[in-house]
Every structure is written in C-alpha cells, then in structure tokens.
C-alpha cells in the first residue's frame, strides 16, 4: 500500500509514502498542515525529490509534493516563483530576460522550494546570491515572509527553513545581456551532459565539498569508482554521484554511502559530510 518513492524521487528507490498528496495552493497546504497537526501525523514536503533518499521502510504520515504551486513571473529586475516551479524554468526565464546571476545553476533538477531550502548551487553561484525573500507556512500554519538577511545560510545549508513549508520566493537581479546569459546557460548544460551520469537515476552529489577539495576527487583517488552494493554503484563517470544502476534499494544506497565514507576516511583522513537528506528510518 502507499505510493512508492520510486515515483517521486530521482533515485527511483525507497519505500512507500503512506499518504501522498499534491495540494494546489498555499491555502490547501495550510489546511493540510492543520489537519496533520490535529491528527498527530507527520508531514513531509518535497519538491522534485532530487536531493533525498527515502528509507525502504517508507514515509509515515503524509507526504505532500509542491508541483502544483507553479506560478512564475518576471517584474522588471525581480522574478517571483511559487515553490513548486522547476528551478531550471526560473533560471531559463532569468537568462531570457537578461537577468544575471543564476545562469550557472542551469540544469539543477529541483524545485524552487528545494533549491532555496538546500541553497543549491553550481559553478560558483548559489540560490541565495539573488534571493530577496521567501514565503512559507510556519508550524502554526501562518503565512510568514522572511527576508534573505534574516535567514542564516552557507554552502548547501540554510537555517530555520526546515521549520517552514516554503510556498514562494522572490529573486532580485542586476540587468545583464540575455545573449551572453543564454550562451553561459548552454555551456553549463553541455558541461553537465559531459560530466554527470544523467542517463541513470541519482540524487546528484552525495557529499558536500570538503574544505579545499572535491568529494569526487577523494572518492576517485581512493579507487572507489564503480564500487557496488546491490543495484547501487559509485558512478564511473562522476565519482561524487551514486547511481541506481537497476533495482537498487535505499538500503543498497545507504550501505554504499557508508562504505565510501569509511574508505575515503581510511585513504585520506577526510570525513565526508552528506549533502543528501535521509528521510525515514535507516
Ligand atoms: C542529476 C542531478 C544533478 C544535481 N546537481 C546539483 C547541483 O549542481 N547543485 C546542487 O546544489 N544540487 C544538485 N542536485 C541536487 C538537487 O537537485 C538540489 O538539491 C535541489 O535543489 C533539490 O530540490 P528538490 O525540489 O528536488 O528538493 P527535494 O529533494 O524534494 O527536497 C530537499 C529538501 O528540501 C525540503 N523541501 C523541498 N521543498 C520544500 C518546500 N517547498 N518547503 C519546505 N521544504 C522543502 C525537503 O523536505 C527536503 O528536506 C542535483 C541532483 C541531481 C539528481
């Protein structure tokens, strides 16, 4: 019973969400969160599921996807988006409008809500570079707006946003040249094709970049490319990715993550920190 995580995560692995819903508006999210509180049910909010590993035991309670919060628009030098908009649609719009500063994050396969929550980024740019504010529902279901200056954030890290259901965000840009930005965007997308195993299910980089180094370099140097547990494998193309090469369980992926961490620690002394988020019981 329930909805298998293969259907709502990019790893295409993991157990079922007990109840899976897709609210159509911020008001429906507010209603849902009140209902979950009243019934003492946990509520997990996901965008594209592209940075999570769901346990084979599944997700208890309600899992709510944001995909129907899909409004996106540009007003002068500002872009506002609801949380379920695909991040890359926002980036494409910004480049088309000549709004510079996020073009290097082209191709990140998450939602606006997930990208803000993770402070996602690539090639030296990150979500918070251009963030103006976020709106979300707090634990009591009230709609709150937080300005960027009030949200502590760092590399792939934000503080406090895990307590909100993000519903919308706004981004401010300097005026740039759309031709140049679209060209940059094409280069980034081409580079992703060349470097990343986009033909197999994954959730992107498994680990954060350690100080002064790259997780992928350390994993490669430890000789771990191609290492497997069941259907999970360290990508031959990009050692920072674990791919589902067919039939991987979340336990396979989790066991492989543990092996990689232990063997990199033994080989280089570096303790890799997980970037991906584990959901459910492991
Ligand atoms: C092929 C591939 C390449 C990738 N490349 C990059 C990259 O270059 N840079 C990078 O930073 N990441 C990258 N990622 C990882 C991932 O795409 C990003 O972290 C993305 O921002 C996650 O967005 P999401 O909507 O999928 O979030 P999800 O995976 O759905 O959720 C991630 C976390 O955010 C929370 N969350 C999501 N939406 C909301 C919301 N509306 N309100 C509250 N909480 C929410 C979830 O509860 C969860 O804790 C890559 C992934 C893949 C598969």
Residue 231 has what pLDDT? 98
Question: At 218, is the pLDDT very low, low, confident or very high (cuts 50, 70, 90)?
Answer: very high
Asked if pLDDT for residue 268 goes beyond 80, the answer is yes
Fold of 197-279: 3.90.78
Q: For atom 43 of ligand 1, which residue has the closest CA?
A: 165
Q: What are the structure tokens assigned to 256, written together? A: 């492989």
Asked if pLDDT for residue 103 goes beyond 80, the answer is yes
Point out the ligand 1 atom lying closest to the alpha carbon of residue 119. 11
Could you give the dihedral angle defined by the CA atoms of residues 184, 186, 189 and 190, in that order, rounded to the nearest 10 degrees?
-110
Residue 280 has what pLDDT? 97
Q: Is the CB of 115 under 6 A from ligand 1?
A: yes
Does the model's pTM come out above 0.95? yes
Substitution site in 20, 54, 110, 128 for ligand 1 pocket (most atoms within 8 Å of beta carbon): 110
Substitution site in 23, 108, 238 for ligand 1 pocket (most atoms within 8 Å of beta carbon): 108
Distances (CA, A) of 187 to 67, 193, 274: 28, 10, 28
Residue 23 has what pLDDT? 98
Q: Which residues are catalytic?
A: 156, 205, 275
Q: Is the CB of 203 under 6 A from ligand 1?
A: yes
Mean pLDDT, residues 74-80: 98
Question: At 26, is the pLDDT very low, low, confident or very high (cuts 50, 70, 90)?
Answer: very high
Beta partners for residue 52, in sequence order: 277
Collapsing DSSP to helix, strand or coil, 91 comes out as helix
Taking all residues of the chain, what is their mean pLDDT, rounded to a whole number?
Answer: 97
Beta partners for residue 74, in sequence order: 79
Residue 263 has what pLDDT? 98
Please tell me the distance from the alpha carbon of residue 71 to that of residue 93, in angstroms, as a whole number. Answer: 13
Residue 42 has what pLDDT? 97
Residue 93 has what pLDDT? 98
Asked if pLDDT for residue 1 goes beyond 90, the answer is no
Taking the CA atoms of 25, 31, 34 and 36 in sequence, report the sign of the dihedral they define.
Answer: negative
Point out the ligand 1 atom lying closest to the alpha carbon of residue 112. 25
Mean pLDDT, residues 84-106: 98
Residue 197 has what pLDDT? 98
Residue 3 has what pLDDT? 96
Fold of 3-65: 3.30.43
Question: At 275, is the pLDDT very low, low, confident or very high (cuts 50, 70, 90)?
Answer: very high
Mean pLDDT, residues 97-102: 98
Distance from residue 115's CA to the centre of ligand 1 (Å): 5
Burial of 179 by CB count in 10 Å (0-12 exposed, 13-18 middle, 19+ buried)? exposed
Q: For atom 36 of ligand 1, which residue has the closest CA?
A: 114
Long-range pairs for 258-266 at CB < 8 Å and ≥24 separation?
Answer: 259/224, 259/227, 259/229, 260/206, 260/207, 260/219, 260/222, 260/224, 260/227, 260/234, 261/207, 263/222, 263/224, 264/215, 264/218, 264/219, 264/222, 264/224, 266/222
CATH of 72-181, one of 3.30.465.10, 3.10.20.30, 3.40.109.10, 3.30.360.10: 3.30.465.10
Asked if pLDDT for residue 277 goes beyond 90, the answer is yes
Mean pLDDT, residues 54-81: 98
- Write down the H helix ranges in 61-119: 87-96, 112-118
Question: At 6, is the pLDDT very low, low, confident or very high (cuts 50, 70, 90)?
Answer: very high
Mean pLDDT, residues 155-162: 93
Substitution site in 21, 47, 69 for ligand 1 pocket (most atoms within 8 Å of beta carbon): 47
Beta partners for residue 62, in sequence order: 19, 43
276, 52 contact by CB (below 8 A): yes
For the stretch 108-155, pLDDT in tens is 999 999 999 999 999 999 999 999 999 999 988 899 999 999 999 999
Q: For atom 21 of ligand 1, which residue has the closest CA?
A: 115
Please tell me the distance from the alpha carbon of residue 5 to that of residue 252, in angstroms, as a whole number. Answer: 15
Mean pLDDT, residues 183-203: 98
Question: At 264, is the pLDDT very low, low, confident or very high (cuts 50, 70, 90)?
Answer: very high
Residue 182 has what pLDDT? 98
Where are the chain's structural domains?
3-65, 72-181, 197-279
Q: Is the CB of 32 under 6 A from ligand 1?
A: no
Distance from residue 248's CA to the centre of ligand 1 (Å): 20
Mean pLDDT, residues 266-282: 97
Q: What are the structure tokens assigned to 214, written together? A: 């790259």
Kind of pairing between the strands at 43-46 and 52-54? unpaired
């Amino acid at each position: 019973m329930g909805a298998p995580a293969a259907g709502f995560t990019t790893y295409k692995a993991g157990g079922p969400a007990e109840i899976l819903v897709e609210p159509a508006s911020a008001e429906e999210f507010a209603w849902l969160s009140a209902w979950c509180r009243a019934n003492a049910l946990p509520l997990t909010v996901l965008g594209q599921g592209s940075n999570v590993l769901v346990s084979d035991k599944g997700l208890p309670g309600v899992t709510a996807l944001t995909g129907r919060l899909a409004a996106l628009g540009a007003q002068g030098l500002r872009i506002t988006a609801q949380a379920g908009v695909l991040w890359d649609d926002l980036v494409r719009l910004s480049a088309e409008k000549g709004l510079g500063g996020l073009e290097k994050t082209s191709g990140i396969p998450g939602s606006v809500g997930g990208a803000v929550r993770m402070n996602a980024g690539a090639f030296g740019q990150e979500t918070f570079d251009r963030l103006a504010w976020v709106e979300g529902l707090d634990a009591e279901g009230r709609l709150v707006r937080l300005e960027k200056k009030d949200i502590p954030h760092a590399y792939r890290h934000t503080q406090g946003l895990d307590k909100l259901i993000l519903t919308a965000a706004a981004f401010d840009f300097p005026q740039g040249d759309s031709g140049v930005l679209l060209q940059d965007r094409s280069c980034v997308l081409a580079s992703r094709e060349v470097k990343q195993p986009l033909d197999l299910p994954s959730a992107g980089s498994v680990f954060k970049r350690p100080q002064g180094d790259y997780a992928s370099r350390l994993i490669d140097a430890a000789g771990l490319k191609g290492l497997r547990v069941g259907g999970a494998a360290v990508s031959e193309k990009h050692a920072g990715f674990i791919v589902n090469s067919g039939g991987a369980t979340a336990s396979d992926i989790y066991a492989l993550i543990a092996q990689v961490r232990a063997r990199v620690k033994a080989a280089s002394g570096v303790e890799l920190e997980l970037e991906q988020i584990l959901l459910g019981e492991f």
